[in-house]
Structure 1
Amino acid sequence: MKKNLIILLVTLLTLNISCTIRPKSTLTPTNNAGGYLLEKINSKGNPTNISGTIYDKLTGLPLSHSVVTMGCLKVKTTESGEYTFTVNGPLSVKVFLSAISVGYLEVETRMFDFKTDAIKCDFFLVEDLRPLIDCVEIGGLSN
């Protein structure tokens, strides 16, 4: 019985490790321990699509209810952490993307151009370990 339990635990651990999504290549570093992967894809289509997924860097699991920003545009991710921007026509400006989720540090890309038809950018966020401050409980301070 004990041997079967050990085999089951090892099997579950192996499945968990193999199913965890890890970056395929080196992440582009940011101002914190998070990062991103940016891939330009020539699909020869119009409009330009910018899409990707937001992941927890430590677990590799997708983060739902996150927000990705491009300039003044914001989109929320799906339950599976996916997002998509659709831009009609070519853009002649450089932009950057940023991603944030509650309890995680924000990750921003470097500036990039749209000399392609599709862009895939996956974000890998790290937890924000800073303590939350309840302003009501701070005595003697006022606005």
Structure 2
Amino acid sequence: MEKILIPTYNKGGYKIKIIEINSKTNPINLKITGKVFDATNGKILSNAQLVIGCFKIQNSSQGEYTFKTNNLKNDFFYIEAIFTGYKTIQTDFIDLTNKNEIQIDFYLAEDDRPFINCEDKTQAF
């Protein structure tokens, strides 16, 4: 099953794939995995920050991340991917019911707004 890019409001997007589904009982553990890429050239973005509810994790130098949690019945969540110089994107709410593993790959677009240097505060406007 090929994953389709789900566009977001700021030129980026994400692909989601349900890897395992347990249809008889709600699984106890849920594993969320994926990678973060540049939307234009497909290169891996390492050390991006992913926000999952109250948790913040960082992906590896290979662009990969893994998050494990207890899966609660009728639970929904979204993930936000953040990388300096790129536009932040977030998924729609995802239903966790009866899922064991979900793969979400993020495709971030470069931020074309000027970057403000906040370190040099001596310059007057």
TM-score category (smaller protein): 0.7 to 0.9
For residue 36 of structure 1, give the secondary structure of its aligned residue in structure 2.
Answer: strand
Residue matched to 1:8:
none
For residue 62 of structure 1, give the secondary structure of its aligned residue in structure 2.
Answer: coil
Question: What is the identity percentage for the equivalent residue pairs of Structure 1 and Structure 2?
Answer: 34
Distance 1:89 1:134 in 2: 42
**Bigger radius of gyration among the two:** 1
Q: Which amino acid in the other structure matches residue 100 of structure 1?
A: I
Query: Does the aligned pair in 2 maintain the 1:56–1:124 contact within 8 Å?
Result: yes
Q: CA deviation at 1:134?
A: 3.5
Where structure 1 has 5 or more consecutive residues not aligned to the other structure, the ranges are 1-23
Residue matched to 1:16:
none
Distance 1:91 1:69 in 2: 21
Alignment of 1:51-130 (within 5 A): 51-115=33-97, 116-130=99-113
- CA offset digits 1:41-64 (Å, max 9, x no partner): 216575210010000111111110
Instruction: Number of aligned residue pairs: give it.
Output: 116
Give the aligned CA root-mean-square deviation in angstroms: 1.8
Residue matched to 1:13:
none
Which structure carries more relative contact order (alpha carbon 8 Å, separation 6+)? 2
Return the structure number with greater helix share.
1
TM-score after normalising by structure 1:
0.73
Where structure 2 has 5 or more consecutive residues not aligned to the other structure, the ranges are none
TM-score after normalising by structure 2:
0.83
Return the structure number with greater strand share.
2
Q: Is structure 2 residue 7 aligned with structure 1 residue 29? A: yes
CA 1:138–1:109 in 2, change beyond 3 Å: closer, same or farther?
farther
Query: Does the aligned pair in 2 maintain the 1:55–1:125 contact within 8 Å?
Result: yes
